[in-house]
A = this chain, B = another copy of it.
Amino acid sequence: MLNPELMSLENQVFRCYLGWSAILILKIFAAGIYTGLMRFFTATFANPEDLMSPKLKVKFDDPNVERVRRAHRNDLENILPFFAIGLLYVLTDPAAFLAINLFRAVGIARIVHTLVYAVVVVPQPSRALAFFVALGATVYMALQVIASAAF
């Protein structure tokens, strides 16, 4: 495939990257909104100007809020690099079948990660598995990109 066509909607690999990236953007934002809701439910506000009542004080150690914040931060550490490397991987013109399934693996694994971490706490190794499936797929893409850049 010629390079300018790789980033068009006619390329099913790019299209798959496009769809899963947008879904994961919404997933990251969902974690942010969920943090906000959890702050309301537990009355845990980090800034004086956010306090809903003069009786409240700023609080930083609610375990429910902190759990969602850890899940959210884990998204930043893993999904944001995927956005960058996924696009570059598309530009190396990978085999469609493999690339599409890698994107699906990252997308599904990261949604599962949030569910078992912050929504319904499921015992380990469920979260570790979801983490490593997404990480493995992203590392594979990075290695393919390095190979394309080098040779």
Contacts and interface: CB of A to CB of B under 8 A. Distances in A.
Interface of A: 3-5, 7-9, 15-16, 18-19, 21-23, 25-26, 28-29, 32, 46-47, 49-50, 66-67, 70, 72, 76-78, 80-81, 83-85, 87-88, 91-92, 117, 121-124, 127, 135, 138-139, 142-143, 145-146, 148-150
Contact of A146 (B22, B28, B85): B22
B77 A139 contact: no
The A interface is mostly helix, strand or loop, or mixed, namely helix
A149 B15 contact: yes
Contacts of A70: 46-47
Given A3-B7, A29-B135, A146 B81 contact: no
Given A3-B4, A32-B78, A50-B124, 12 more contacts: A3-B7, A3-B8, A18-B91, A18-B145, A19-B145, A21-B84, A21-B88, A28-B81, A46-B70, A47-B70, A80-B80, A81-B83
Nearest to A72: B77
Contacts of A67: 47
9 contacts: A3-B5, A3-B8, A18-B148, A22-B85, A22-B145, A25-B84, A25-B142, A49-B121, A83-B84
A146 B77 CA distance: 23
